[in-house]
Structures are given as C-alpha cells and as structure tokens.
Amino acid sequence: MTAVANHFSYWATLFIAIAGLYIVIARGNLVKKLVGLAIFQTSVYLLYIAPGKLIGGTAPIIADGFAVYSNPLPHVLILTAIVVGIATLALGLAIVVRIKEAYGSTEEDEILAQDQATLDPLSETKT
C-alpha cells in the first residue's frame, strides 16, 4: 500500500497516459481521438513536473533561511511541451474541419467506407 502511496504521482501519470492512449485507439470519432491524444500528452507534463518538486523546497531564489530548492527546469521544459501540444491539437482540429468539409463526417469508419466506395467502381471499370 505504501508503494502505491509513495509513488502516487507516477500512478496518476500512468493512469492518464493509458486512458489517453485507450481513447485514441478505441474511439472512432476523429475529434475524440484528438482529445485522447491531448490527455496522453498531459500525462507527460505530469511525469516531468512532479519529480521536480521537493517536499519543503521553495522557488529557486537564493535567500537566507532556505536551503532546499525545487528544480525549475521541468517547468520550463513543460511550458515548451504545452505549446507544442497546443500547436498539435490546433493543427489536428484544423485538419478535422477540412475532413468534415470534404467528407461530411468526422467518424472514421464512415470516411473509410466513403473512400472504399469511391475506390471500388474505379477498379471494377478498369479490370
């Protein structure tokens, strides 16, 4: 039980990561897939940030009376990662909008069925 409690942040990270990946794989809706992807990426933020905090640590500013500092580097890194994540999500949603315009649907199986439908007559006429 203590093993779980001591590594609580890692368990949380793991849970979020797997939940996100599961959504990406299991959902057929393109937007939902992107949401899953965003959740998956969020888990990475936690993976970086959580170990940076030391219990009793303060912000890394040199001052009297404080000897333990938290590591500021993960925050900087994750700020970058968040920006990257937003860019990815924005681009993904933009592509979904265009897919919706082109196919009239955001369900993966419907789109694939449409592709199949446009492909099949072509190959039949040619053979």
Using CB under 8 A as the criterion, which residues of the chain lie in contact with another protein when the complex forms? 17, 21, 24, 30, 33-34, 37, 40-41, 44, 47-48, 51, 73, 77, 80-81, 84, 87-88, 91-92, 95-96, 98-99, 102-103, 111-112, 115, 123, 126
Q: How far is the CB of 123 from another protein (least distance, A)?
A: 7
Which residues contact residue 12 at a Cβ distance below 8 angstroms, ignoring those fewer than 6 apart? 46
Q: How far is the CB of 25 from another protein (least distance, A)?
A: 10
Task: For the chain, state the CA radius of gyration.
Answer: 22
Which residue number, 58 or 94, has a Cβ lying nearer to another protein? 94
Contact yes or no for 58/28 (Cβ under 8 A): no
Q: How far is the CB of 91 from another protein (least distance, A)?
A: 6
Which residue number, 12 or 44, has a Cβ lying nearer to another protein? 44
Element (H, E) at 116: helix 108-126
CA atoms of 34 and 46, how far apart (whole Å): 19
